[in-house]
Structure 1
Amino acid sequence: MIVEVVGGTHEVPEVKVVDVDDLTRLHLALGEVTDEEADQALREAGLGRLQDDQVGFVTVDALRAAAEPQSSAPDWAQRWEGMVATARDKGWIGDDGASLQVHVESAAGA
């Protein structure tokens, strides 16, 4: 699963959740946006925040709410729970206990 922050209409960054059926990976992909723009877009979308250019946090409940309706996999809910449990086991959990730490990939080097 990928949380994308990309340039949107009139250059206002847009947040999208894509590849929702691939629960073997989770990362944040930044398009042609600055770190500040990405952080603001994530916060405004209620999906998380950017810590720095390498690490972000996504809110578990908000991400599930955005991703699950797009899923076509009948066992998605079980695989989602497994992904979240694995992240927790590996310590990839935010201090708030409600978010997962994710790697940031820049597609544009903005």
Structure 2
Amino acid sequence: MIVEVVTGADERPETRVVDVDDLGRLHLALGVVTDEEAADALERSGLGRLQDAGTAFLDVASLRAAAEPRARAADWAAQWDRMVAHARSQGWLSEDGASLQVHVESAAGA
């Protein structure tokens, strides 16, 4: 699954969740946007926050709510639970389980 921040309508960056059935990976992909634009778009969407150029924290409940309705895999919920459990085992899940730490990939090479 990928959370993207890309230039949207009227050149205003927007956030979208894509590849929702691929729960073997999760990262934030930035299009040609500044860190400030990315941070603002993430916060406006409720999907998370940008910590720095390489790290973001995604809201677990908001991410699931954005992805699950578009999922096609019959066992998607079980795959989701495995992804979250794996993140916990790697130390990528906050103590309260509310946010996932993810890597940021920038199309701008920043």
- TM surpasses 0.5: yes
Report sequence identity in percent: 68
Q: How far does residue 12 in structure 1 lie from its aligned partner after superposition?
A: 0.6
User: Which position in structure 1 is the counterpart of 2:79?
Assistant: 79
Q: How far does residue 10 in structure 1 lie from its aligned partner after superposition?
A: 1.1
Q: How far does residue 38 in structure 1 lie from its aligned partner after superposition?
A: 0.4
Is the 8 Å Cα contact of residues 84 and 93 (structure 2) preserved in structure 1? no
**Between 87-96 and 2-11, the greater mean CA deviation after superposition:** 87-96
- Unpaired stretches in structure 2, ≥5 consecutive residues: none
Secondary structure of the structure 2 residue equivalent to 1:17: strand
In the comparison of the two structures, how many residue pairs are matched? 110
Is the 8 Å Cα contact of residues 3 and 15 (structure 2) preserved in structure 1? yes
User: Which position in structure 2 is the counterpart of 1:26?
Assistant: 26
Q: How far does residue 93 in structure 1 lie from its aligned partner after superposition?
A: 1.9
Is the 8 Å Cα contact of residues 32 and 109 (structure 1) preserved in structure 2? no
Q: Following the alignment from structure 1 to structure 2, what is the Cα–Cα distance between the partners of residues 96 and 38?
A: 25
Q: Is it true that 1:15 corresponds to 2:15 in the alignment?
A: yes
Give the letter aligned to residue 89 of structure 1. S
User: Which position in structure 1 is the counterpart of 2:99?
Assistant: 99
Q: Deviations over 1:39-61 (max 9, x none)?
A: 11001100000000000010000
TM-score (norm 2): 0.95
TM-score (norm 1): 0.95
Q: How far does residue 94 in structure 1 lie from its aligned partner after superposition?
A: 3.3
Q: Following the alignment from structure 2 to structure 1, what is the Cα–Cα distance between the partners of residues 107 and 85?
A: 28
Secondary structure of the structure 1 residue equivalent to 2:17: strand
Q: Deviations over 1:11-46 (max 9, x none)?
A: 110100000000000000000110111011001100
Q: Is it true that 1:4 corresponds to 2:37 in the alignment?
A: no
Give the letter aligned to residue 19 of structure 2. D
